[in-house]
Structure 1
Amino acid sequence: MEIITIKESLKKGEDSDRQFKENFTSIDKLAVEISAFANSNGGEIYIGVDDNSTIKGLSSDEIKRLNQWISNASSQKIEPPIFVQTQIVLIDDKKLMIITIPKGINKPYSVNKSEFWVKNGADKRRASREELFRLMQSSNSLYADEMDAGIGLDSFDFFYFSEFYKAVYGETLENINISKEQLLENFKLVKENHLTLAGLLLFGKHVEFMKPQFCVKGTYYLNEDEFLDKEDMGGKLFEQQKKGVDFILRHLRRRQKGKDFNSPGELEIPAAALKEAVANALVHRDYFINSSIFINIFNDRVEIVSAGLLPNTLNVENIKLGIHIERNPIILSFMAKFQDSGYTGRGSGIPRMLRLCQEKKVPLKLINDTDRNQFKVIFYR
């Protein structure tokens, strides 16, 4: 790291990516700081700098001690171990140490096997129960859709599931050699006579009453402060997708195609792209966050907003290339089997969306909004 860059960082002060410490007097406190960064988005710890960005410097003995502590903290105090990089920098004849901590890929990281910390702006705090779930989800060690929804089998729509099973597998439930309950357990739709979240959302009765936070809310705005139409869309996930797409389509304009006045109008946004975007929101959202999916229609754009950021190491550029990570594997596998959903589950949806919009000259923006902890797809009208 160049001296000029370091000085600029010191001028900016502390934030969620950068922490200043005059020194460490405890290896446990050092481990806490490192683990908080690893459980968040990674960052840097500047040692030898006070809270006012003034360089105090470190002695050779202090640097020797800190190097030993960093090695022990990252390999023994923190579990699982994490690799960090250190750099000694000389500025104005004063030495400071910079520790660079990567964003962890094996979250959550604990200190002394019992403490879990995350960054909270420039500070840190203990992780909440919900945050621990999301951290485990990000490292593919826990899936929200596999968890017990706390709802009994009487809320499972067996008729709907029977029709689905017959359409997909070409046989009726009566002709299989195992019990219905065992079949549902095999599909991970049921766990110990309770519906999993996937079982409820895909085949449950009255999802909007059981889990109203996992529905779709659509609003058609006259302007930023007034609306002309709104709708809460509940039901099973496939039904939510259909209702969400229908809500958008009924508020879109059609434009004349060709010179013939009687030629059929063409939607200003490709319907197939909208269908894919709504399906993606339902399949890939973070179900550890109790929030609905929002469809917001304005005069100049259509927004589809889902809870949670892109999982693990994904970013917007990755998904444009078709790279995907399965956050909700059960929901994904079943949604791909609903023929009318248009969803394949193979990672080809985003590239196809981009291609369709490019062909029709419709600007499309994908936003991984870290401040609001949400992912947003915007089609410009």
Structure 2
Amino acid sequence: MNLDALLKQPEGKTLEFKGNLGAAEPFLRSVVAFANTAGGTILLGVEDRTRRVVGVQDPLVLEERLANLISDAIRPRLIPEIALLPWRKTHLVAVRVFPSPNRPHYLKAVGQEEGVFVRVGSTDRKADRVLVDELRRYARDTAFDEQPLVDLDSEALDFRAASELFAPVRRLTRRDLTVLGLVVKHQGSLRPTAGGVLLFGKERERLFPDAYIQAGRFGGRDRTRILDTVEIRGHLPTAVEEALAFVRKHESVALAIRGARHEEEWSLPVVAVREAVINAVVHANYAQRGAPIRLSLFDDRLEVENPGLLPFGLTVEDILQGVSKLRNRVIGRVFKELGLIEQWGSGIARMVTACRDAGLTDPVFEEVGWHFRVTIRKERVAREAADPVEQAILSLLRDGKGHTTAEIARAIGRTPRATRTRLAGLVARGVVTEVGSGPRDPKRKYYLAE
């Protein structure tokens, strides 16, 4: 376990700092939340707000107590990795929790209904019934949209509408409904799946009243002044194009001359907008009631938000690396067949590339409440260039070993005081991170921010 790498990071979905154990329940909630979500590490001996390293007393005693607490208080049982990590003249205790195949885990004293927690950002949240059901489906390796709706028959699907949507791709047959997972055999009869109804159900709005896109254009940078709003309630594949049409209606479009052709240029990159909408439709948690997919246009940004967190086991860092897990397999399969998805796991990368090519900052991906949000900002932001002294500091830190103020000062030929000023500026800009026991720690080290 790389202690320096842990100390460089802020708290988040897979990392929790605790100055000491204190009350047992907050610690146990974090263990449960990590096991249920994407795994993670709890580092005891580091203050959570300041990241000041304070160490722990009696690390061997603490290690045994933590192991007993976890064994006695959590069901199904968990066996995390507990390690004692030396740091200068003290020790830290790291509890590494792996994503569990036996979800959902819960606090024994609270019970299965109230004791299930998941990780959202740097917080532990109590899971509601919908989320607990999703954890159970994940453990069974089934998706919500694959479940049969046993009170309906196959005629509940609008075969004509489905055929018209598939017409530009190929001729749709009744057998294709089974191949695509739109219907499944249940107790000898064909029944539509939740995904089939969400895509082509005749009574989709009655059965899934929140399965639509709510699009809004707001004046300014908040939701105070509504300029236009529309509810896009068509079949999910066509809803993507309707959402793009709404964005086009409200965004400035210029004509660029390329050779003999005139091409439209949006103030927002159309590829990024399309991918954000498709991602929201394909990965929304349609079991979650009370909130549709939301597309919000502001003067300075576009937000696309869908109900549901990232699929269990995934972090924002994972999806930026191209790792993907499909929450809705039926919807994803149909979107792939229709050519709306080019390649699994490529959508996030396409969004990032499109924004960079347009001279915009990278889109922001985040879990907010029980939702997942993509934000694309409109303004072109010039990246602040490092001057020669800062470039020398950054060049030194690229070795990843971490360096003290004194080491950096010697390397760049500046006094320690002048070097501290430079480092403070780089830290404030988020380019460099510092690790130590406090602002007066002469041994604190600096690293390139990840």
- CA gap of 1:44–1:227, structure 2 versus 1, over 3 A, is same
- Segments of 5+ residues of structure 1 without an aligned counterpart are 177-182
The residue aligned with 1:145 is 145
Contact 1:214 1:293 (C-alpha < 8 Å) held by counterparts: yes
- Return the offset for 1:300: 2.0
Rounded to whole Å, the distance in 2 between the matches of 1:336 and 1:150 is 26
Residues 239-263 of structure 1 show CA distances to partners (whole Å, capped at 9, x for unaligned) of: 2112111111111112353699x96
What is the count of residue pairs matched by the alignment?
A: 350
- Return the offset for 1:350: 2.5
Q: Which moved more, 1:190-199 or 1:136-145?
A: 136-145
Rounded to whole Å, the distance in 2 between the matches of 1:126 and 1:258 is 55
The residue aligned with 2:446 is none
The residue aligned with 1:156 is 157
Rounded to whole Å, the distance in 2 between the matches of 1:343 and 1:124 is 33
Rounded to whole Å, the distance in 2 between the matches of 1:320 and 1:120 is 19
Q: Which moved more, 1:318-327 or 1:330-339?
A: 318-327
Rounded to whole Å, the distance in 2 between the matches of 1:127 and 1:263 is 52
Matched, 1:109 2:110: no
The residue aligned with 1:129 is 129
Amino acid at match of 1:82: I
- CA gap of 1:119–1:334, structure 2 versus 1, over 3 A, is closer
Amino acid at match of 1:213: D
Contact 1:46 1:99 (C-alpha < 8 Å) held by counterparts: yes
- Return the offset for 1:379: 4.1
Output aligned runs, 1:258-297, within 5 Å.
265-290=264-289, 291-297=291-297
Give aligned-pair identity as a percent: 21
- CA gap of 1:361–1:139, structure 2 versus 1, over 3 A, is farther
- CA gap of 1:246–1:277, structure 2 versus 1, over 3 A, is same
The residue aligned with 1:201 is 198
Contact 1:316 1:368 (C-alpha < 8 Å) held by counterparts: yes
- Return the offset for 1:117: 2.8
Rounded to whole Å, the distance in 1 between the matches of 2:278 and 2:59 is 58
- Indicate which of 342, 354, 357 corresponds to 2:352: 354
- Return the offset for 1:345: 4.2
The residue aligned with 1:308 is 308
Contact 1:21 1:45 (C-alpha < 8 Å) held by counterparts: no
- Return the offset for 1:85: 1.3
Residues 278-336 of structure 1 show CA distances to partners (whole Å, capped at 9, x for unaligned) of: 11110122333322111111122222112223323433443334322222121111111
Q: Which moved more, 1:63-72 or 1:302-311?
A: 63-72
- Return the offset for 1:38: 2.3
**Tell me, what secondary structure is at the counterpart of 1:303?**
strand
- Indicate which of 92, 95, 98 corresponds to 1:100: 95
Contact 1:303 1:377 (C-alpha < 8 Å) held by counterparts: yes
**Tell me, what secondary structure is at the counterpart of 2:80?**
coil
Output aligned runs, 1:336-351, within 5 Å.
336-339=336-339, 342-351=340-349
- Indicate which of 182, 194, 203 corresponds to 1:189: 182
Amino acid at match of 1:188: G
Output aligned runs, 1:219-298, within 5 Å.
219-223=216-220, 224=222, 225-257=224-256, 265-290=264-289, 291-298=291-298
Contact 2:177 2:183 (C-alpha < 8 Å) held by counterparts: yes
Rounded to whole Å, the distance in 1 between the matches of 2:27 and 2:316 is 33
The residue aligned with 2:426 is none
Q: Which moved more, 1:355-364 or 1:62-71?
A: 62-71
Q: TM-score, normalised by structure 2?
A: 0.62
The residue aligned with 2:394 is none
Rounded to whole Å, the distance in 1 between the matches of 2:279 and 2:171 is 27
Q: TM-score, normalised by structure 1?
A: 0.72
Amino acid at match of 2:366: N
Rounded to whole Å, the distance in 2 between the matches of 1:221 and 1:124 is 32
The residue aligned with 1:179 is none
- Return the offset for 1:45: 7.5
Contact 1:212 1:234 (C-alpha < 8 Å) held by counterparts: no
Output aligned runs, 1:72-111, within 5 Å.
78-79=75-76, 81-87=78-84, 98=93, 100-102=95-97, 104-106=99-101, 107-110=103-106
- CA gap of 1:150–1:65, structure 2 versus 1, over 3 A, is same
Contact 1:22 1:56 (C-alpha < 8 Å) held by counterparts: no
Amino acid at match of 2:131: E
Amino acid at match of 1:343: I
- CA gap of 1:128–1:323, structure 2 versus 1, over 3 A, is closer
Rounded to whole Å, the distance in 2 between the matches of 1:23 and 1:137 is 32
- Return the offset for 1:207: 2.7
The residue aligned with 1:180 is none
Residues 128-185 of structure 1 show CA distances to partners (whole Å, capped at 9, x for unaligned) of: 3222123345667331211245662343102123445665554644xx6xxxxxx644
